[in-house]
Chain A
């Protein structure tokens, strides 16, 4: 692909991919206008129209007249922009995929709000695999992150690609889980992000971002250099929903980005599944509400595999490697499973001396059944 791009720069600036990318990066051209332009005129005619070399089509003319858009676009749609776009694409090994390209994800092509142009880094063939969206809140509990990671790892092992958004919290855990096994047979992850592919957001995910790009694919409809503006996230969520065969919400508050993705999935008739959580846990309020509304519950990766119609029996053999907690420790774990607790609350609930509770918590932590974060203990029950 790199070769193609270099070729473009040196010999013909009229490569349709570069032109399409240039149009996408013009200010004032959003996903909808881009779709209208490219579908009515085609890439080259659209460019010529924007340059003013070609008389605009009538409803394009109406669009361009709005707010003097046409005039400002004429100023900006220059050969220099083409050169700059080509260079940016080449610099980041970024590919441009148009809607009529064979590589364009099939599930997206027929979508009513399909992006006209997709930017991608990585291997687009991953979209041919089975795909499950794993999403959730950024402010996830430790238990939620643990679940997301474990489930994603098992889905990837069963050949299902995990689709997520590279955000903090559940998204990151899902990607990490999908990347946990280095094995060749594991399905690579798919990330759908809001910013341009050269703008890593959040920045602390740079390593994870690179790993997803290396093993799987990252796509975005935002052109290179595009900042992670707030309005791009709901737009990204529609793509995330559209490329998923199934959507699993691990943890979500009653409102938020995950619920927008759920709405987008519902519009497209994509099955939404949710992981139940404690009513005390604010970050499970959204998922519990989804279950109340009829979403299928997910307590194990098998539940997702069954919903996909895949064989799940292979998994059950490798279920849980952790040592069983002793009956005494089990009592502490049961108390933790109800809600996250501090040492003090556990001492009160269990009515045991402080050293005894501390001892049991230490054992549970060593065995991987409990984690402590800033003084709060949480159970890691779900396997």
Chain B
């Protein structure tokens, strides 16, 4: 008469356990689903019935009511199909209740009764990982990655029921989904010459400083940016889990091992919408590109081509490390601890060189208006990338490899975590890096050599540096000094380098750096 079966539904990037309650009773034959199902969920009624009939189960021609508890929250997706089917079987007394009791079911049903994988398997399964979870075969890696110890797969509903009864074996998934090697990140040794750009990448990785690359087309801006994940510190267990959840919820392919283990690198095209970048959407609240890039790199190529409203939406997540997406029914929080790297042409003609550029003042001003000052201000590092020298391209030696640079980066990150660790425990993330040193902590963590102090004073006096710029420069200088093996006092040369790597577009817009 009555059955309750455990399943789960997706809310943003988090799975929520759902009890599928089914009551089969007297009344006109019918099938209703209550408990705020969305359109896809409501349609499962027809899928479940077709699956029953095509697999030879008897369909109870009575009044069937399905309640998705807790009933106050909206449920979405097709992952409840299998649970509803099993609950109907239990309520119709075709399956003993105790056989389904210790299980959770997360799969979509085909009309022929076959089990299909669902979007967001990792977060879905993680909500019920204390039970044995029944999923479709293609969701097994994601489910294992989510930390569920007991994951089993079935080919169709009849198979699943047979397995529950102990009459058949669950599918053997380990051999079918051998973890393959993760896609490799291009190596930094491919970059020849370009010492300043290389240094900027290293500083960005070591200190978690956002980076703007300004240069003509063909200067290798994208090439440089793509090599950044290779020198970032490897993801911690916690970060890897969080990345996997987001990737799974956004239906972005994860390595076949099921886990995201390298810092993600996302480079959305400049036609991206606000929702695509930030997250949201009407049907299902999906994480956006900034959440996919969390704990990794968000690369915006052709920064000037992005819609200004889209770019301005980045400001809040850049500050907070999370993004709150609110819609009429729900407010969700997605992770957004990304390292922002952007590339832009110096001017519409792309030349940039004084005397070679053919842009008139008006065209240049129009172009620069596209970049909002507050966003440009968020880039601690703004460097010009020139076309590579011919000598370097033809017979230059290969540069340092990513492994060598990554080792230095890791040392700096560790030192920063120790230094800032008293206040913040989050190890290895941007939160403990040099870019996150609190203003009132700067004097303790980044004391200045008197000569460096004089340089800063001069910059402030001539008005080239704003108050906020001052703190940013000091943080970058801290990272440069750390990379230089000087963990104590920040010297004049470190500060000068930080200042020199803070030019780019902004001197044209505001005259201040």
Interface residues of A (CB under 8 A from B): 138-139, 141-142, 168, 278, 280-284, 340, 342-345, 347-348, 354-359, 361-362, 366, 372-376, 378
29 contacts between A and B (CB under 8 A): A138-B360, A139-B360, A141-B355, A142-B354, A168-B361, A342-B196, A343-B196, A343-B384, A344-B196, A344-B197, A344-B383, A345-B386, A347-B196, A348-B392, A354-B196, A355-B480, A355-B484, A358-B500, A359-B493, A359-B496, A361-B496, A362-B496, A366-B455, A373-B507, A373-B508, A374-B214, A374-B508, A376-B352, A376-B384
Please, how many angstroms separate the alpha-carbon atoms of A203 and B508 in the complex? 18
- Given the known A-B contacts A282-B355, A359-B496, are A344 and B507 also in contact in the complex, defined by CB atoms under 8 Å? no
Ranked nearest first, the 4 interchain pairs of A and B with the lowest CB-CB distance are A375-B384, A281-B355, A358-B500, A355-B493
B348-362 contact mask (Cβ, 8 Å, vs A): 1 or 0: 000011111111110
* Residue in chain A with minimal CB distance to B513: A372
| Interface residue B492 (Cβ < 8 Å from any Cβ of A) | yes
A375–B383 CB distance below 8 A: yes
State which of B386, B392, B507 has its C-beta within 8 Å of the C-beta of A342.
B386
Q: Check: B141 CB closer than 8 A to any chain A CB.
A: no
Q: In the bound complex, do residue B353 and residue A362 qualify as a contact, i.e. CB atoms below 8 Å apart?
A: no
* B357 contacts across to A, CB distance below 8 A: 139
B389 proximal to A (CB < 8 A): yes
- Do the beta carbons of B353 and A376 come within 8 Å of each other? yes
Taking a contact as CB atoms closer than 8 A, the residue among B195, B361, B497, B500 that contacts A139 in the complex is: B361
A202 to chain B, nearest CB (A): 8
Interface string of B487-513 (1 = CB under 8 A from A): 000001110110111011101100000
Interface residues on B, range: 35 or more
Minimal beta-carbon separation of A374 from chain B (angstroms): 5
Is B194 on the interface with A (CB-CB < 8 A)? Answer: yes
Answer yes or no: B77 CB below 8 A from chain A CBs.
no
> What residues on B are CB-neighbors of A283 within 8 Å?
354-355
Residues of B within 8 A of A168 (CB): 361
Q: Is B37's beta carbon under 8 Å from chain A?
A: no
Q: Please, which residues of chain B bring their CB within 8 A of the CB of A139?
A: 357, 359-361
Whole-angstrom distance from the CB of A351 to the nearest CB of chain B? 10
Distance, CA A251 to CA B500, complexed state (A): 28
Q: Is the CB of B199 closer than 8 A to any CB of chain A?
A: yes
Whether B507 lies near A374 (C-beta < 8 A) is yes
Using known A-B contacts A139-B361, A366-B458, A376-B384, determine if residue A358 contacts B355 with beta carbons closer than 8 Å: no
Point out residues on B near A: beta carbons under 8 Å: 193-197, 199, 214, 346, 352-361, 382-386, 389, 392, 455, 458, 480, 484, 492-494, 496-497, 499-501, 503-505, 507-508
Cα–Cα, bound, A358→B500 (Å): 6
A346 (CB) vs chain B CBs: closest residue: B196
Q: Which of B384, B494, B501 has the most CB of A within 10 A?
A: B384
Interfacial chain A residues near B504, Cβ < 8 Å:
374-375
Tell me whether B386 and A344 are in contact (CB under 8 A). Answer: yes
Could you tell me if B496 and A355 are in contact, using CB atoms closer than 8 angstroms? Answer: yes
The CA-CA distance from A378 to B503 in the complex, in Å, is 14
In angstroms, Cα B361 to Cα A278, docked, is 22
Given the interface pairs A168-B361, A354-B196, A373-B508, the reply to whether A340 lies near B503 with Cβ below 8 Å is no
Which chain A residue lies CB-closest to B199? A354
Which residues in B have their C-beta under 8 angstroms from that of A374?
A: 214, 346, 352, 384, 503-505, 507-508
- Chain B residues near A361 (CB-CB < 8 A): 496, 500
A354 to B500, CA, bound (A): 9
A373 proximity list for chain B (CB < 8 A): 354, 507-508
User: Once the chains are docked, how many angstroms separate the CA of A357 from the CA of B356?
Assistant: 24
Are A348 and B214 touching (Cβ within 8 A)?
no
How many angstroms between the C-alpha atoms of A359 and B352 in the bound complex? 24
Interface of A (DSSP majority class) = helix
Given contacts A344-B195, A347-B195, contact A376 B480 (CB under 8 A): no
Query: Which residue of B355, B383, B508 is within 8 Å of A284 (Cβ)?
Result: B355
Q: Which of A281, A343, A354, A375 has the most CB of B within 10 A?
A: A375
Return A364 CB to nearest CB of chain B, in Å: 11
B497 touches A355 (CB 8 A): yes
User: Is B360's CB under 8 angstroms from A358's CB?
Assistant: no
In the bound complex, CA of A376 to CA of B347 (Å)? 13
Distance in angstroms between the alpha carbons of A347 and B501 in the assembled complex: 13
Docked Cα-Cα span, A355 to B353, in Å, equals 23
Residues of chain A within 8 A (CB-CB) of B193 are 348
Nearest residue, chain B, Cβ from A281: B355
B493 near A356 with CB under 8 A, answer yes
A266–chain B nearest beta-carbon distance, Å: 25
B101 CB to closest chain A CB (Å) equals 66
A164–B507 Cα gap in the complex (Å)? 28
**Contact partners of B480 in chain A: CB under 8 A:** 355
Minimal beta-carbon separation of B13 from chain A (angstroms)? 39
Q: Could you tell me the distance in whole angstroms from the C-beta of B481 to the nearest C-beta in chain A?
A: 10
Residues in B with CB closer than 8 Å to A348 are 193, 195, 389, 392
Residues of A within 8 A of B196 (CB): 342-344, 347, 354
- Cα of A358 to Cα of B498 in the assembled complex, Å: 8
9 new A-B contacts, CB < 8 A, other than A344-B383, A362-B499, are A280-B355, A343-B500, A344-B194, A344-B197, A347-B195, A355-B494, A359-B496, A374-B214, A374-B507
- Measured between beta carbons, the chain B residues less than 8 angstroms from A138 are 360-361
Residue of A at shortest CB range from B359? A139
Which A residues lie within 8 Å of B355 (CB)?
Answer: 141, 278, 280-284, 340
Report the bound CA distance from A163 to B501 in whole Å.
Answer: 40
Closest to B505 in A: A374
Q: How far is the CA of A344 from the CA of B193 in the complex (A)?
A: 9
Q: Most B CB atoms within 10 A — which of A343, A347, A357?
A: A343
> Which chain B residue shows the least CB distance to A357?
B500
Bound complex: CA A336 to CA B213 (Å): 22
CA separation between A341 and B214, bound complex, in Å?
Answer: 14
A139 to B505, CA, bound (A): 17
CA distance A279 to B275 in the complex (A): 50
Q: Give the chain A neighbours of B354 by CB distance below 8 A.
A: 141-142, 281, 283, 340, 373, 376, 378
CB neighbours (8 Å) of A356 from chain B are 493
Closest to A347 in B: B195
A282 to chain B, nearest CB (A): 4
**B497 & A354 in contact (Cβ 8 Å cutoff):** yes
A residues within 8 A CB of B392? 348
Chain A residues near B455: list those with CB within 8 A: 362, 366
User: A249 to chain B: closest CB distance in Å?
Assistant: 15
Closest to B355 in A: A281
In the assembled complex, which residues on chain B have CB atoms less than 8 Å from the CB atom of A342?
196, 384, 386
Which residues of B are found within 8 Å of A278, using beta-carbon distances? 355
User: B residues within 8 A CB of A357?
Assistant: 500
The interface centre, meaning the residue of B356, B392, B458, B484 with most chain A CB atoms within 10 A of its CB, is B356
B384's nearest neighbour on chain A, judged by CB, is A375
Task: Report Cα–Cα, A354/B384, bound state, in Å.
Answer: 13
> Which A residues are in CB contact (< 8 Å) with B492?
359
